[in-house]
Amino acid sequence: MKSILITLLFISTIAFAQVNQIGNLQDVYTLKNDIELSASYNSKNVKGSPFLHSEYQNIKIKGVMMKGKYNANRDYIEVDNKGEIIFFVPSMEHRYDVLFTDINETYRAFEYENLKFGFFKILAKKDKAFLLTRQFVQFSPEKKPKNNFEILKPAKFERKKDVNYIKLSDKDIVIELPTRKSKFLKVFNSKSNDIKNFIKKEKLAIISCYDATFASMLANTEVDALLVGDSLGTKVKGRKDILNVTINEILYHTRAVRNGSNSLPIIADMPTQSYDKKSSALITQKLSLIRSLATKSACAVPQGFTR
């Protein structure tokens, strides 16, 4: 009888610990009320979504399986814990890994300013050092016309460019990685010369290419690889940005480049927001076709897939 009681106590303790981990994440009602204050934010007329995931994904927090999706505008993970909707917000007390198991992406709260925390996606880690990226969706309220020459601009959510950070093992606060090489090297202080020498030694010549003619010209040069990037939206299609490039367009130009060169590796971008759970099977087939066309290639996959 004693052993049974001990066993029941052990099981109930584990169950309580799991509920406590999820139930006491933060004052979820305050966060929910803040969101509901803005009527335009939740309006059906708003274009786009604050969430990176169109539907709930399978997630795991401290070994507990649930459903969740990341709101990259308000920086919280909306969690469906067996029918109960709660909000997991980044905080010092709850820096748990949130693993999106279907797409193999992990998020964790990191300190980006003194006592200010945000969710970052972990790109790589070694010991206590992390390479991170921060994702953001911007909300723009409705803009009414001021005169007869202007038109109504509806409220919208717009995905902004990801920003990369590094968490050094001896630092508490993450550091934004500059895009300029001179500023980038300063981040690493005493190791900057070693990194500079490594970059010089390991530098690759990768050229953007979108058609067979240019690919055939580059095949006999010292170029290391060809890149079919989503920049074709602005460089080839004449659009104002790269956000509307489709996977079909990437596939078309990858096929053209492969026809022009069979020897060079091809890097084919997966365009931004190309992954959608509803069409994941179709995307997987097209990704396989891209890989079959781009033999010896690496496919850069910004969302939804792993290499």
CA 255, CA 290: separation in Å to the nearest integer?
A: 8
Lowest mean pLDDT among 24-38, 62-76, 133-147, 212-226: 24-38
The pLDDT tens digits of the residues spanning 33-63 come to 444 545 556 667 788 889 988 889 999 988 8
HSE, CB side, 13 Å, CA atoms: give it for residue 204.
Answer: 10
Q: List, by residue range, all CATH 3.20.20.60 domains of the chain.
A: 204-300
Averaged over 254-277, what is the pLDDT? 78
The band of 274, judged by pLDDT with boundaries at 50, 70 and 90, is: low
Three-state DSSP class for residue 193 = helix
Please give the pLDDT value at position 6: 32
**Tokens read off for 149:** 């020459």
Classify domain 204-300 at the CATH topology level: TIM Barrel (3.20.20)
- For the chain, how many residues are written? 307
Q: Under 8 Å CB-to-CB from 132, ≥6 apart: which residues?
A: 110, 120, 121, 122, 123, 164, 165, 166, 167, 174
Q: Which long-range contacts (CB under 8 A, 24 or more apart) does 66-69 make?
A: 66/22, 68/98, 68/100
pLDDT, tens digit, for every residue of 218-227?
Answer: 988 888 889 8
Q: What is the predicted pLDDT for the residue at 280?
A: 62
Residue type, 156: K
**pLDDT tens-digit map of 128-140:** 889 999 999 999 8
Q: Please tell me the predicted confidence (pLDDT) of residue 17.
A: 37
